[in-house]
A and B are shown apart, each in its own frame.
Chain A
Amino acid sequence: METSFALTGKGYVIVAADTTAARSIVKMKDDQDKIKELGSHLLMAYSGEPGPSNAYIIMPTQPTDPLLSFYSGDTIQFAEYVERNIRLYQIRHLYPLRPSAAASWIRRSLAVSLRSRNAFTVNLLIGGYDLADHKPTLYWIDYLGTVVEVPFAAHGYGSYFALSLLDRYHNPDATLEEGLATLKRCINEVSKRLVVSPDRYKVKVVDKDGVREVEL
C-alpha cells in the first residue's frame, strides 16, 4: 500500500515515497517516481487513495507511458497540473513561489476540487527550502485541502508506524546522515510490521543547494 514520509533537519528536508504503482491487488510497476521536483528548491510527494478513481472516466491527456494509465490516474493528473502551474508562475514572474506560497496555492486547488463533482483524492507532502529566510519547511496536505506545517509527516498506512517513531527519534537539528538514519528506522519498521509493505523507496533531499536524489 502507498506510503510516504518526510522529515526536516538542520537546513534540509528529506522526502521519501515508495515506488510501487498498484491497481487493486496487482503491482503494475515498482520503479514509479512519486516525488515531483516543482522547482529548484521544492519537492512534492504525491499519493492517491487506493481503489478506483475518476481517472478512467475523465482523462483529458493520456500519460506518455502506457503503464501509467493503470496507475490511479487523478494523482498523476493533479501532480502534473500543480507542476505546470508552479512552473508557469516562475516563467511569468522570473522568481519561484516560496514553499509557503506554493503550499497555499496547492491547498486551495484541492479545497476547490473537494466541493466539485469529481474531487481529486490526492495526499501530498510539500518539502521546500525557503531561500528568503533560509529555513527548511514541510507541509502536510491531505485530499480535503487540510494544510499544516510540521517538523515531520507521513501519509498512507505507513504513517501509523512512522509517526510514533518520528515522535521519538526526530531531531530538528540533526545532520543529513542522522536524518537519513531516522528515515531508515521508519522504512524498516513499516517493512517489519505492515502486511502490505512496499519494498522500494525513492528518497529526495532539498537544502540550500537545491533538490537531489539520495540512495539509502
Chain B
Amino acid sequence: MSALEYNGGSVIAMVGKDCVAIASDLRLGTQALGISSNFQRVFPMTDRLYVGLPGLGTDVTTLYERFRYRVNMYTIKEEREINPETFAHMVSSTLYQHRFGPYFIEPVVAGLSKSPTGALKPFIAAMDLIGCINFAKDFVVAGTASSKLYGVAEGLWEPDLEPEDLFETISQTLLNAVDRDAFSGWGAVVHVITKDRVISRTLKARMD
C-alpha cells in the first residue's frame, strides 16, 4: 500500500462568490484500523489563508510545522502577510526540494488573495507530492477519497455560491464522498473564508 494511503484522510476546497471553503475529514488510522477521530489536517496560515495536508500522518505534522515557521519568518521579514499565490509556490518548491525522497502529502491551499487595488479574490490550488500545482477555478480535491470527491463535487458545485450555500455544498460533497471511502470519515471540519471572517464548523458525521 502507498504511503499516501497509509493513514487515510481527504481534503477538498471550493471557490464561491468572494469566498472560498476548505474542508477535511478527521480520521487517522493505520491502514484499516482507526486510531483517532480528531486528527486535524487543515491549518490556518494567515487570517485569510488555510492549507490542507492530506497524506502520511507524520508528514502532516512535519510540513505544518515547517510551513508555520516559514510563514512566520516571511511575515517578520516582509512586514506583511503572505499572499495565497506566494504561499502555494512556497509549498510547491518545498515539496520539489524533496523530489527524490518526498514528503507523502498532497497539499490543498485555499485563501483570499489581495490584488494591488485592495480587492479580495478567491484562490485555491492543489499539488501532488512533488509539488506540481493545479490552479483550479472551481474546486480541488486530494486524499484517499479524491476519486469520490471529484464525482460528488462535479455534480453539486455551481459558480458564485454565497458563503452559506458554499458551506452546504462543500459539507454535503465531503460527507457523501467519505462515506464511500473506508479510509476517510470519522467526523469532518469545514472552514468558509469570507472577506471579514472565517466560519469554522465541525460536522456531525457517520462514525462507522
- Which residues of A are at the interface with B, using a C-beta cutoff of 8 A? 107, 110-111, 114-115, 140, 142, 144-150, 153, 159-160, 163
Quick one: which of B86-107 are within 8 Å of A by CB? 101
Inside 8 A of B28's CB, which chain A residues have their CB? 146, 148
Is B39 part of the binding interface, using a Cβ–Cβ cutoff of 8 Å?
yes
B146, CB-defined interface residue at 8 Å: no
Contact B33 A145 (CB under 8 A): no
Choose from A111, A142, A150, A159 the contact partner of B62 (Cβ within 8 Å): A111
12 intermolecular pairs with C-beta atoms under 8 Å apart: A111-B58, A114-B58, A140-B36, A144-B57, A144-B58, A146-B28, A146-B56, A146-B58, A147-B61, A150-B38, A163-B33, A163-B34
Q: Given B30, B34, B38, B101, which contacts A142 in the complex, CB threshold below 8 Å?
A: B30
- In angstroms, Cα B56 to Cα A147, docked, is 11
- B34 (CB) vs chain A CBs: closest residue: A163
Q: Contact residue range for chain B?
A: 10 to 19
* Interchain CB contact (< 8 A) of A153 among B7, B35, B61, B62: B35
Residues of B near A163 (CB, < 8 A) are 33-35
A160 to B101, CA, bound (A): 32
Name the contact of A145 in the complex, choosing from B34, B38, B39, B61 (C-beta under 8 A).
B61
**Quick one: CB contact mask for B48-63 with A, threshold 8 Å, 1 for yes?**
0000000011100110
Q: Which of B2-40 contact A (CB under 8 A)?
A: 7, 28, 30, 33-36, 38-39
User: B94 to chain A: closest CB distance in Å?
Assistant: 15
Q: Are B61 and A107 in contact (CB under 8 A)?
A: yes
- Please determine whether B33 and A159 come into contact, CB atoms closer than 8 angstroms: yes
Q: Measured between alpha carbons, how far is A26 from B72 in the docked complex, in Å? A: 52
A145 touches B35 (CB 8 A): no
Provide the residues of chain B in CB contact with A160, threshold 8 Å: 33
CB of A146 to closest CB in B, whole Å: 4
Q: When chains A and B are docked, how far (Å) is the Cα of A160 from the Cα of B39?
A: 20
Residue of A nearest to B56 (CB): A144
A145 engages B36 (CB within 8 Å): no
User: Max chain A CB contacts within 10 Å: which of B33, B39, B56, B58?
Assistant: B58
Q: Which residues of B contact A114 (CB under 8 A)?
A: 58
Measured between beta carbons, the chain A residues less than 8 angstroms from B57 are 144, 146, 148
Most B CB within 10 A of own CB, among A111, A114, A146, A153: A146
Across chains A and B, which 6 residue pairs bring their CB atoms closest together, nearest first? A146-B57, A145-B58, A144-B58, A148-B36, A146-B58, A148-B39
Residues of B within 8 A of A115 (CB): 101
The answer to whether B35 and A140 touch across the interface, beta carbons within 8 angstroms, is yes
- A145 with B62, Cβ < 8 A, contacts A140-B35, A140-B36, A150-B35 known: yes
Distance of A110 Cα from B58 Cα, bound (Å): 9
Closest CB in chain A relative to B104 CB, distance in Å: 10
In the assembled complex, the Cα of A111 lies from the Cα of B30 at a distance in Å of 16
Find chain A residues with CB under 8 A from B61 CB: 107, 111, 145-147
**Complex: how many Å from CA A149 to CA B62?**
16
What residues on B are CB-neighbors of A147 within 8 Å? Answer: 61
Whether A150 and B58, one on each chain, are in contact in the complex, defined by CB atoms closer than 8 angstroms, is: no
A147 to B65 CA separation, bound complex (whole angstroms): 13
In the bound complex, residues from chain A placing their C-beta under 8 Å from that of B101 are: 115
B103, closest chain A residue (CB):
A115
Report chain A residues within 8 Å CB of B34. Answer: 163
Contacts of B39 in A (CB 8 A): 148
Question: Which residue on A lies nearest to B207, using beta carbons?
Answer: A167
